[in-house]
Structures are given as C-alpha cells and as structure tokens.
Amino acid sequence: MLEIALGTPPADIAGIVYRLGSDVVKTPLRAHEKNLDSIPFPAWQLLDLKKYPPLDSGVENGVDLAREPRVSVIFSRGCSGHCDFCSTWWIWRGWRCRSAVNMADELELLYRDFGIRHFSFADDSMTVNRERVISLCDEIISRGMRIAFHVTTRTDCVDAEMLAKMKAAGCYNISFGIETASPRLLTRLGKENTVEASERAIALCRQAGIRATALLIAGSVGETWETIRETVAFLRKTRPDRVGCVGGLWVLPGTKLYRDCVSRGLINEDFWLTDEPYMTYTAEHSLKELMRMRDRVSNYDSTLYKIVARIKRTLRWPA
Ligand code: SF4
C-alpha cells in the first residue's frame, strides 16, 4: 500500500494484480513480513472507538460486556492447520505472531489513552504458540490492565495452564472452529484434529471459567443426517456455552475445496465476475436442506425440536 501511495510503477510492486490496457498483469509473490512488530499500530485516533458495538453480555473482570465497546485487535496471522475449505493458512502461508510486549503495548495504548476495556482478538488461531500467549497474559496482568477479551482458536491449541492464565488476564470467551463431530468428515475436511480434542477443550474452558463457543458447519462435503446427528450428540454431551452454525460450506477461491469443485465442474473462474462473495457447496444438499441441517444443529437442545423429532419418529418421517 505504501509503494502504491508513493507512486511506484505497478510492475515494480511485488504481490499485486493490475490492469494494463485489456491485459491483467500479476506481479511476483511478495515475501511476507516476518517481524510483525515492525508494522506500526493502526491510527486508532482516527476512529470513533465508542461506535464499536459491545456484542456480549455479563460482567467479566469488572468489565460490563453489554456496555463497553468491543474493539478488534490482532496478535497473529494465519494458522497452523490446513483445512481444505479455509483460505487463512493458504493466504498467510503459515502462522506468525507479534511479540507479547508489542501486543501489550497496543492494548495499553487503547486502555490508557482511549479508555477501551473490552477487546476481541481477530486472529483465526490465536493460541498456536502457548509460551507467547502466556507471556502476553503476564504482560496484561503486570501492567495492571483490567480488561475482558474474546479469542478464536483451534481446540488442539489449548491446555489447562494456558487457559488459567488467560482467564486471569481477562479472557471470557473462546470460539473454537470445531466444524463437525463426525470423525469421517473431519478427515474429509483436512481438519487435522479430533472430536476428543474438542471435547477436552470445552471441558478445560469450563474448568477455567471461560465460556466456550462451538463454531460448526452443517452441510460439509459428505454430510448426511447421520453425521448431523453425531454433531448434535456431541453438543448434548459437551454443552458449549454457545453454538455458531453456518448452513453450507462456503467455497472460497484458492482453497483445496475450490480446486476440487473446479475439477468436478461445479464452479468455474467466471463465478468471481458475479456479485456473489462465495459459492455455497450444494452438490449434495439443496440450500433448503442445508438450512434445515443448520437449524437442527443450532437448536440441538430445544425442547420444541425434541418434541417435533419424537413426533416424526412416531410417524416415521425423515429426520
Ligand atoms: S483451523 Fe480454522 S483457521 Fe486454521 S486452517 Fe482450519 S479452518 Fe482455517
């Protein structure tokens, strides 16, 4: 962006795509910045931070989550996973992290100069490096910041010691990308994780006093009503504090799933000339069916659902 702003000729800027007459020119890939601490903080003074919505409820670490604006910050980029449907690891090519001191410096700036008490870490997988996370929590505690924050990560990247430290620093909720509780589908999605790890992560959060949110996909490649029932059973057993479920798998460019869909003739490059931001994978189930699957997972514990399901079983209707 700086090179563009300085007027550097496009051909000399690595990592961009531009139009030259009727041609589309792509320059060589740009080397990633390894030292994230070298990147300046955002110009927070240009934003009205009070306009950030609070987006939660309850009081944590003395912070009223329903009243305090929740400001997004980011500690790391990328992910240690390689899920077939995900563009994160592919775009960021691995996982990189700021130093604990640099991250704490930005939090402290927002805390002291702008009065921000409520944060959301926008990382896709915030806890890949446990020592770095523990150091960040130590920095938050030793600097006397009473804050509350939310993070997102993988279920195989948490442990009891780290969660206890996170809780002490103000972590009140962790969103886990669980996707499904079917071992077969986890393998099919390239998730490189297990149902047992997800069960353990939710239990450890409960012990630590941190809320756990299960992020799920209903309608993955290979999904059936049987695998939906596996996910419902998992939710009933583990009882996360919240469930966030999307109906249908989003086919994002650059992913293995996208390439598979191209090779199967389900999508072609012209899709990106439309106004649609992504394709939903409907090769196996209609959109309507995907919404039913989503509703089934989202309402895994609703009494109404149980009653309807019982009636359907009695009348021998499909699930
Ligand atoms: S664990 Fe999450 S962020 Fe990481 S590759 Fe898989 S879906 Fe993407």
Q: What is the pLDDT of residue 55?
A: 84
Confidence of residue 311 (pLDDT cuts 50, 70, 90): confident
Using CA atoms, how far apart are residues 23 and 71, in angstroms rounded to an integer?
Answer: 41
DSSP 14: T
Residue 300 scores a pLDDT above 60: yes
Q: Quick one: pLDDT at residue 304?
A: 64
* Residue nearest (by alpha carbon) to ligand 1 atom 1: 81
Q: Do 79 and 167 share a domain, yes or no?
A: yes
Determine the residue of 74, 82, 86 to mutate for testing ligand 1's pocket, defined as the one with the most ligand atoms within 8 A of the Cβ atom.
86
pLDDT classification of 317: cutoffs 50, 70, 90: low
pLDDT value of residue 203: 98
Tokens of 106: 């930005």
- Report pLDDT for 10: 96
159 CA from centroid of ligand 1 (Å): 18
Residue 318 confidence (pLDDT) above 60 = no
- Please give the pLDDT value at position 241: 95
Residue 65 structure tokens: 């989550």
For residue 76, the CA-to-ligand 1 centroid distance in Å is: 13
Query: Is the confidence at residue 113, as pLDDT, over 90?
Result: yes
Among 76, 79, 189, 192, say which to mutate for ligand 1: greatest number of ligand atoms within 8 Å of CB.
Answer: 79
The answer on 93 and 20 residing in a single domain is no
39, 23: one domain: no
Domain co-membership, 27 together with 62: no
51 and 85 both lie in a single domain: yes
Q: Residue 177: which of 156, 163, 159, 206 has the closest Cα?
A: 156
Give residue 26's pLDDT band: very low, low, confident or very high (50, 70, 90). Answer: very high
Same domain, 103 and 125: yes
Specify whether 50 is located in the same domain as 135: yes
Residue 194 maps to which CATH number? 3.80.30.20
Residue 306 has a pLDDT of 65
State which residues form the domain around 7.
Answer: 1-31
**Centroid of ligand 1 to alpha carbon of 4 (angstroms):** 31
The predicted model gives 138-145 an average pLDDT of 98
| Domain identity same for 120 and 97 | yes
26 and 40 in a single domain? The answer is no
Q: Tokens at residue 259, please?
A: 């390439």
Residues 25 and 60 in one domain: no
Q: Are 22 and 169 part of one and the same domain?
A: no
54 CA distance to ligand 1 middle (Å): 26
Cα-to-centroid distance, 226 and ligand 1 (Å): 24
**Percent of the chain's residues with pLDDT above 90:** 85
Domain count, the chain: 2
pLDDT tens profile 185-229: 999 999 999 999 999 999 999 999 999 999 999 999 999 999 999
304, 287: one domain: yes
Q: Global pTM?
A: 0.90
